[in-house]
């Protein structure tokens, strides 16, 4: 872009982030600060041809909807009006809020008016939990940011744009699919559009704690150790040396003070605590400590648990002991019917179903779920696999696609790296093999490990090299992951009668998780066990798969596909699917299918074996 064009675009207020906006790093634990919710009713305008952003030559227009213009004279021509437009509850998805938008993919503009008092007394961040997919954000007509990615949070400093009294925020949301996106053009879930998670104004000090990490380090292998080691690192919102950061855990009577360097950071430092004093977080005892972080005179709090996760040969060790991950995969969809899940209540319902099934582990597929999902699971004692939407056939050779995936991985880790229950960062699902794919995913795995070395890295692989009744896992990504995970659908995409004959060859000395298995059934549809779509068919499929998988050497967990039926445009069979993927153990209305009880009994046996 030449300088004249940049100046023109800046005047119009339509520049992208790369051209105008300074990227503001994601704030850690936004919940800890005083905030004003912008949830509630927002006006919206459906803009099929994006006339609110482009002119008829497809150039950015200075008269865009972001201006929220009003006629000043009787002859003024303005062909939109947010105040007279319909309203929608935010957070939500437009697909289930407006029946005309059920299948819609495109642009919708959202408008919210709000009042501010003492606007200059605080530094204010505008925080979005998630917007799907491409979002341009404007405050009082000024462009403040452009974010790409439908499942991760982002924030902007809007302090200087706010004014005493009436203010407004306008968001242009576009959920059209593109080959170079993450996820790409095809995926097996509903492309819910809109502002799908919380929006709030977060008040922070002029200098605040942008990020921090408090982790229990792995034991040194000494039995009966008397001392545990905790590591701490932190980063301020400004590069300033000499600031004191104090960490205190009142219940443990522990307080430590650190001083920032010239980068405004506390590099990783360690301190000890008597082992007998520290109660470790586990599914059986999900202990969380109140931790206070003080920067100069300002203090925030968090609830943090301490545990270790590692592998030893074909075992996963939680707090130094082998654990079998009794899991289930979950989509971030409301428990009763369709629509994007976006509340703590939604999370508790879904997770309580998982616990009733006997789970101590959930795979949050295929993208980062709502923050409340992770935090509620932590309180309930449920371990978590968290994933980014590098799904199926990504544009492996496109540098912008890689940067997009890397940014989503960054934001996922930054948001949740202090959550004790998150034990696996997953970088992909069912990706076809190629040198370009190996390079793309290898770099992502290495980057994830550089950001957070305290957790395990995995991905859902595909089984290749099948010969008659021998399935051999052969994936170049084996050297980058800590846990070998793969999806298999014996009984659904291959005859279930093959299950007793199958042998599995996994030539890696690493733990194994079966990240998906299962098949579809319509709740209430009954018949013989060989009649597809019946509950009896799914029930038999689970019985045969469990018997088969139990024979796999190094099996450390499973996350069958899936907890509940979920919406998907790829599932069109009338009377059976009706745009739902029917592989759930619960129906879309929360009703248990017969296969639920098969898995529940197996997990009871696994839990009993572990206790002995």
Q: HEC string of 152-171? A: CCEEEECHHHCCCEEEEEEE
Task: Answer yes or no: are the C-beta atoms of 300 and 293 closer than 8 Å.
Answer: yes
Indicate the Cα dihedral angle 278, 233, 31, 113, nearest 10°: 180
Please check the confidence at residue 172 and state whether its pLDDT lies above 50: yes
pTM of structure: 0.94
Residue 94 pLDDT greater than 80, yes or no = yes
- DSSP state at residue 569: T
Point out the least confidently predicted range of 33-47, 141-155, 468-482.
468-482
Any idea what DSSP says for residue 590?
S
CATH architecture of the domain with residue range 219-306: Sandwich (2.60)
Q: Which residue has the higher pLDDT, 431 or 612?
A: 431
Tell me which DSSP letter residue 104 carries.
-
Q: What is the mean pLDDT of residues 70-77?
A: 94
Residues whose CB falls within 8 Å of the CB of residue 409, separated by 6 or more in sequence, listed in order: 388, 425, 427, 444, 447, 448, 451
Confidence of residue 412 (pLDDT cuts 50, 70, 90): very high
pLDDT, average across residues 119-128:
84
Alpha helices in 175-260 (DSSP H): none
Q: Quick one: pLDDT band at residue 218, thresholds 50, 70, 90?
A: confident
* pLDDT score recorded for residue 23: 61
Task: Provide the token pair at 233.
Answer: 């690192």
Name, in order, each residue with C-beta under 8 angstroms of 403's C-beta and a sequence gap of 6 or more. Answer: none
Residue 17: C-alpha distances to residues 159, 171, 286, 304 (Å): 18, 14, 41, 34
Average pLDDT, integer, range 438-449: 98
| Structure confidence by residue, pLDDT tens digits, 531-560 | 999 999 999 999 999 999 999 999 999 999
pLDDT at 593: 98
> For the domain 3-204, what is the CATH superfamily, name and number?
Galactose-binding domain-like (2.60.120.260)
CA distance 294 to 376: 25
Q: Where are the beta strands (DSSP E) in 420-469?
A: 422-429, 456-462, 464-467
Phi, psi of 454 (to 5 degrees): -90, -10
3-state DSSP assignment of residue 541: helix
Which phi-psi region, left, alpha or beta, contains residue 48 (left: φ > 0; alpha: ψ -120 to 50)? alpha
Distance separating alpha carbons of residues 130 and 36, to the nearest angstrom? 17
> In angstroms, rounded to a whole number, what is the distance separating the alpha carbons of residues 363 and 596?
17
Count Cα atoms within 13 angstroms, Cβ side, for 610: 21
Query: In the structure encoding, which two tokens stand for residue 496, read together?
Result: 């279930």
Exposed e or buried b per residue across 207-221, where buried means at least 16 C-beta atoms within 10 angstroms of its C-beta: bbbbbbbbbbeebee
| Interacting residues of 576 by C-beta distance below 8 A, sequence separation 6+ | 520, 522, 525, 533, 582
Residue 1, pLDDT score: 35
Mean pLDDT of 322-330: 98
Residue closest to 299 by CA, chosen among 248, 334, 252: 248
Rounded distance between C-alpha atoms, residue 570 and residue 561, angstroms = 16
Q: How far is CA 27 from CA 155, 212, 237, 372, 387, in A?
A: 8, 10, 9, 16, 20
pLDDT band at 225 (very low <50, low <70, confident <90, very high): confident
Instruction: Determine contact, residues 147/24, Cβ cutoff 8 Å.
Output: no
How much is the pLDDT for 465?
61
Provide the pairing of β-strand 315-318 with 289-295.
unpaired
CA dist 569 and 574 (Å) reads 12
Q: What is the average pLDDT score of the chain? A: 93
Q: What is the pLDDT of residue 51?
A: 95
Tens of pLDDT, residues 1-36? 333 333 334 434 444 333 334 468 999 999 999 999
Helices (H), 320-395: 344-357, 371-380
pLDDT level of residue 121 (50, 70, 90 thresholds) = low
pLDDT of residue 221 exceeding 70, the answer is no
Question: Which DSSP symbol is given to 499?
Answer: G
The answer to whether 359 touches 382, Cβ cutoff 8 Å, is yes
Average pLDDT, integer, range 272-283: 94
Q: Which candidate, 309, 255, 252, places its Cα nearest to that of 276?
A: 252
Strands 107-116 and 40-47 come out as antiparallel
**Domain ranges in the chain with CATH number 2.60.40.10:** 219-306
In sequence order, what are the beta bridge partners of 274? 227
Confidence of residue 226 (pLDDT cuts 50, 70, 90): confident
Give pLDDT, residue 610.
82
CATH code for the domain defined by 311-611? 3.20.20.80
Please name the residues in contact with 73: beta carbons below 8 A apart, sequence gap of 6 or more: none
> Where in the chain are all domains bearing CATH 2.60.120.260?
3-204
User: What is the arithmetic mean of pLDDT over 196-212?
Assistant: 97
What per-residue confidence (pLDDT) applies to 150? Answer: 97
Q: How is residue 99 written in tokens?
A: 């029946």
What's the pLDDT score for residue 471?
Answer: 86
pLDDT over threshold 80, residue 182: yes
Residue 272 to residues 227, 247, 277, 278, 568: CA-CA distances in angstroms?
6, 13, 11, 11, 50
The whole-angstrom distance between residue 374's C-alpha and the CA centroid of its chain comes to 9
> What is the rounded CA–CA span in Å between residue 200 and residue 371?
14
pLDDT band at residue 224, thresholds of 50, 70 and 90? low
Q: Give Cβ neighbours of residue 248 (< 8 Å, ≥ 6 apart).
A: 254, 255, 256, 291, 292, 294
Q: Is the pLDDT of residue 229 over 50?
A: yes
Torsion, CA 10, CA 136, CA 415, CA 122, rounded to 10: 60
Check residue 606 and give its pLDDT.
Answer: 96
- When pLDDT is averaged across residues 580-596 and rounded to a whole number, the result is 97
The pLDDT value recorded for residue 3 is 36
DSSP 8-class letter at 399: H
Domain with CATH 3.20.20.80 in the chain: 311-611
- Span 260-284, mean pLDDT? 95
């Amino acid at each position: 872009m030449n300088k004249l064009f940049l100046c023109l675009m800046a005047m119009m207020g339509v520049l992208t982030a790369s051209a105008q906006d300074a990227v503001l790093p994601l704030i850690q634990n936004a919940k800890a600060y005083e905030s004003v919710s912008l949830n509630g009713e927002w006006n919206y305008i459906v803009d099929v041809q994006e006339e609110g952003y482009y002119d008829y030559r497809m150039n950015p227009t200075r008269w865009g909807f972001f201006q929220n213009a009003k006629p000043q004279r009787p002859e003024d021509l303005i062909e939109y009006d947010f105040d007279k437009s319909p309203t929608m509850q935010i957070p939500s998805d437009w697909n289930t809020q407006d029946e005309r938008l059920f299948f819609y993919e495109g642009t919708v503009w959202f408008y919210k008016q709000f009042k501010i008092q003492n606007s200059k007394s605080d530094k204010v961040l505008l925080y979005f939990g998630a917007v799907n997919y491409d979002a341009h954000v404007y405050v009082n007509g000024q462009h403040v940011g452009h974010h790409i990615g439908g499942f991760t949070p982002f924030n902007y400093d809007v302090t200087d744009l706010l004014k005493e009294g009436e203010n407004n925020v306008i968001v242009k949301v576009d959920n059209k699919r593109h080959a170079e996106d993450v996820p790409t053009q095809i995926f097996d879930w509903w492309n819910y559009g809109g502002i799908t998670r919380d929006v709030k104004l977060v008040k922070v000090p002029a200098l605040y704690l942008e990020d921090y990490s408090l982790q229990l380090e792995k034991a040194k292998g000494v039995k009966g150790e008397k001392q545990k080691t905790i590591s701490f690192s932190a980063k301020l919102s400004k590069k300033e040396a000499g600031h004191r950061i104090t960490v205190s855990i009142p219940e443990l009577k522990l307080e430590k003070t650190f001083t920032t360097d010239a980068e405004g950071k506390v590099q990783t430092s360690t301190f000890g605590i008597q082992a007998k004093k520290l109660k470790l977080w586990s599914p059986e005892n999900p202990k969380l400590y109140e931790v206070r972080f003080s920067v100069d005179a300002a203090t925030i709090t968090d609830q943090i648990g301490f545990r270790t996760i590692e592998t030893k040969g074909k075992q996963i060790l939680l707090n130094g002991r082998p654990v079998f991950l009794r899991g289930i995969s979950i989509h971030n969809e409301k428990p009763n019917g369709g629509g994007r899940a976006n509340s703590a209540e939604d999370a508790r319902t879904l997770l309580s179903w998982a616990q009733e099934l006997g789970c101590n582990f959930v795979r949050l597929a295929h993208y980062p779920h709502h923050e409340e999902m992770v935090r509620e699971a932590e309180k309930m004692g449920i371990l978590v696999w968290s994933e980014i939407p590098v799904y199926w056939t990504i544009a492996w050779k496109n540098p912008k696609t890689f940067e997009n995936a890397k940014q989503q991985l960054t934001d996922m880790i930054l948001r949740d790296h202090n959550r004790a229950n998150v034990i696996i960062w997953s970088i992909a699902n069912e990706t076809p093999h190629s040198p370009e794919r190996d390079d793309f995913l290898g770099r992502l795995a290495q980057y994830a490990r550089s950001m957070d070395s305290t957790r395990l890295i995995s991905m859902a692989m595909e089984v290749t090299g099948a010969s008659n009744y021998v399935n051999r896992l052969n994936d170049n990504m084996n050297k980058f992951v800590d846990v070998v995970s793969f999806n298999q659908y014996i009984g659904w995409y291959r005859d279930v009668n093959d299950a007793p004959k199958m042998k599995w060859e996994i030539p890696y000395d690493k733990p194994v998780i079966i990240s998906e298995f299962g098949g579809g059934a319509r709740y209430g549809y009954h018949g013989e066990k060989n009649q597809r779509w019946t509950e009896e068919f799914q029930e038999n499929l689970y019985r045969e798969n469990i018997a088969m998988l139990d024979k796999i050497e190094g099996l450390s967990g499973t996350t069958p596909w899936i907890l509940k039926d979920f919406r998907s445009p790829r599932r069109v069979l009338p009377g059976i699917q009706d745009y739902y993927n029917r592989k759930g153990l619960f129906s879309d209305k929360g009703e248990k299918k017969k296969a639920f009880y098969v898995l529940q009994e197996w997990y009871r046996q696994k839990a009993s074996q572990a206790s002995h």
